[in-house]
Structure 1
Amino acid sequence: MSSKPRLLLAFLLAVLLASLLASIFQTQTNLAALQALGAPMPLDVRVGTTCLDLLGFAPTFALLAALGFLVALPLAAWMVRRLPALRWLIFVLAGAAAIWTALALANALAPMPTLIAADRSPFGTLGLMACGSVGALLFGLLGRRVRFRTQPTSSDSL
């Protein structure tokens, strides 16, 4: 696969993974808050609500992640070329920064005080940023250049 389609696929999969993880995190964080208030939260409610949020919330978060990743991931890839020893740290930080920036922008533009409920606490914000980091790590993994050996080595003869 040539470079551009491979990078586009890596980008889309990174957004998808970050969005799915963030949706699950947001749902479980909200359900835990309700449970702390005394609401019963059986497993079937948790699973059903998670499925609904994967359909309803994940697309919203995907838009935020895509906007953040559009800036952060190319910048991270550029930095990795100059600092290859820090590859994974750069992608972790880029993913976290992308989500934090997207959330800050969304909260500044949204009519309500906080657009995403999980973003109302430092724990929730860090959790969503971690989801972005996982997505960015996937991009870093899938976006790597694959180099094929053309000459056999001595270990190939075994």
Structure 2
Amino acid sequence: MTRSVGWGRRLALFGVAVLLAAAWGSVVQTQFNLQALVALEVDVPMQVRTTTTLQDLAGFGPVYAGIVLAAWLPAFLGAALLLRRWPQCRVPLYALAAGVGVIAAIRTIDAFAPMPVLIDATRGTAGLLAMAAGSLLAGAAFAWWTRPRRRRL
């Protein structure tokens, strides 16, 4: 016999997962941007890295959380529908949906943004995949946290 996670807890865990993905993405984009400065021979001491990262978490983090949320809603709906066919693939389905969803959202935003890209770290494949990796891991975490559990008798 299995026991599923209640909707309130599921929504809370969804929120936590979105925040994890947003924090990861914010830190990644900050470090990619700072590394671009280092490549131009600008000295970026650890204190500046830390301060800039914290400022970006507070400033860019909420914006990116909105992007993750907009990406995940349709992606997780698709994963939930596929889950009916392949229930044993819960974690991979949600992980893949989260990663691909964020890539699709970022590329869609870039297509409409007046500048070449909205998030400079995603200009190249490495940055885009690094940001998607955080989304993928957070999506997998959500799937794991909300998996049906077997009751002990």
The TM-score with structure 1 as length reference comes to: 0.88
Max radius of gyration: which structure? 1
Provide the rounded CA distance (Å) in 1 between the counterparts of 2:135 and 2:5. 26
CA contact (8 A) 1:10 1:138 kept: no
TM-score, normalised on structure 2? Answer: 0.91
Q: Identify the structure with bigger relative contact order (alpha carbons < 8 Å, sequence gap 6+).
A: 2
Matched, 1:20 2:23: yes
2:136 to 125, 133, 136: 133
Give unmatched runs, 5+ long, in structure 2: none
Asked whether the equivalents of residues 5 and 146 of structure 2 are also in contact (C-alpha less than 8 Å), the reply is no
One of 53, 56, 61 as aligned partner of 1:58: 61
Counterpart Cα distance in 2 of 1:73 and 1:10: 13
Q: Which amino acid aligns with 1:39?
A: V
CA distance in 1 between counterparts of 2:114 and 2:14 reads 30
Aligned partner of 1:43 in structure 2 is 46
Q: Identity of paired residues, percent?
A: 37
Cα RMSD (Å): 1.6
Number of residue pairs matched? 150
Q: Counterpart of 2:122?
A: 119
* Corresponding residue for residue 106 of structure 2: 103
- The CA deviation at 1:2 is 5.7
Structure 1, gaps ≥5 residues long: 152-158
Secondary structure, aligned partner of 1:111: coil
